[in-house]
Amino acid sequence: MTLSDRVALVAGATRGAGRGIAVELGAAGAVVYCTGRTTRAQRSEYDRAETIEDTADLVTAAGGTGIAVPTDHLDPGAVATLVDRIEGEHGRLDVLVNDIWGGELMVEWETPVWEHDLANGLRTLRLAIDTHLVTAHHALRLLSRTPGGLVVEVTDGTAEYNAENYRLNVYYDLAKIAPIRLARSWAHELRAHGGTAVAVTPGWLRSEMMLEHFGVTEDTWRDACERVPHFAISETPRFVGRGIAALAADPDRHRWNGRSTSSGELGRVYALDDLDGSRPDAWRYVVEVQDAGRPADVTGYR
């Protein structure tokens, strides 16, 4: 699998799934523009240590070319400047990954709309939806010029799961359904240009924030299973990254156009493993074990 002739933009690459996706695109040889609001000089409201420069360095170390570009994806002018830079430096864009999110600090879990802070809820939707629209408006102009382009909308939950399950509160529910619908929209609009658009969800992600929340590290993550047994199905951000890199390298990727899929399904289709050699299928596990009220047991699911 090689992407040595491809140029990718991972919008929202500071940490979590975005970082894992950027690194795996780099491991396949791509040039990867890594964007976000936290740099070594300035932090976003998350006030965390991860930076886009760190992500770009990891991309380069993996075998690609990582380029960090500080970008607020709610600022149309900043996104236009970013895309102009990509066009000026490479003349093309082959892969766009819309992974912009940023709502964890504002979402009030399991809170009805009349009790949830309205400003925080609306800000969450702006970060989760408006950013994707702004980025698509500018980036798809360039991506559509070269047949074979790929757009990935990263979300939480498959179309099937989100259609049947209310996702924690109204703002989060809308935020995670919207990218699935956006992928279908991009699939329709790019079809005449030979492009492909897919919505992809990771499983239960062992992101930097999740590991910190449970007080564990990537080396000790299994300790969290004593308190949260279903965490046993969790996966690294690199697993969904490997799936998206395989999708980008697939000459027949248009068969995925408009679909919603998961890291687990991509792992099965492309025979991919996580960093520990396992192949977690989190969403099948969630439905058949966790939501079914069965005891935690990942046998047959990773």
Q: Check residue 31 and give its pLDDT.
A: 98
Q: Decide if 34 contacts 12 (C-beta within 8 A).
A: no
Please report, to the nearest 10 degrees, the dihedral formed by the alpha carbons of residues 245, 247, 252, 253 taken in order: -130
Residue extents of the structural domains in the chain: 7-204+237-275
How does 128-149 read in b/e, with b if 16+ C-beta sit within 10 Å? Answer: bbbbbebbbebbbebbbebebb
**What is the DSSP pairing of strand 65-70 with strand 7-11?**
unpaired
Looking at the chain, how many residues does it have?
A: 302
Residues 248 and 142: their CA atoms lie apart, in Å, by 17
Q: Decide if 196 contacts 244 (C-beta within 8 A).
A: no
Residues 100 and 130: their CA atoms lie apart, in Å, by 10
Q: Check residue 44 and give its pLDDT.
A: 87
User: pLDDT tens track of the chain, all 302 residues?
Assistant: 799 999 999 999 999 999 999 999 999 999 999 999 989 999 988 889 999 999 999 999 999 999 999 999 999 999 999 999 999 999 999 999 999 998 888 888 889 999 999 999 999 999 999 999 999 999 999 999 999 999 999 999 999 999 999 998 999 999 999 999 999 999 999 999 999 999 999 999 999 999 999 999 999 999 999 999 999 999 999 999 999 999 999 999 999 999 999 999 999 999 999 999 999 999 999 999 999 999 999 999 99
Residues 24 and 36: their CA atoms lie apart, in Å, by 18
Q: Check residue 98 and give its pLDDT.
A: 98
Q: Check residue 91 and give its pLDDT.
A: 97
Residues 261 and 43: their CA atoms lie apart, in Å, by 32
Q: Which fold has domain 7-204+237-275?
A: Rossmann fold (3.40.50)
Q: Decide if 90 contacts 7 (C-beta within 8 A).
A: yes
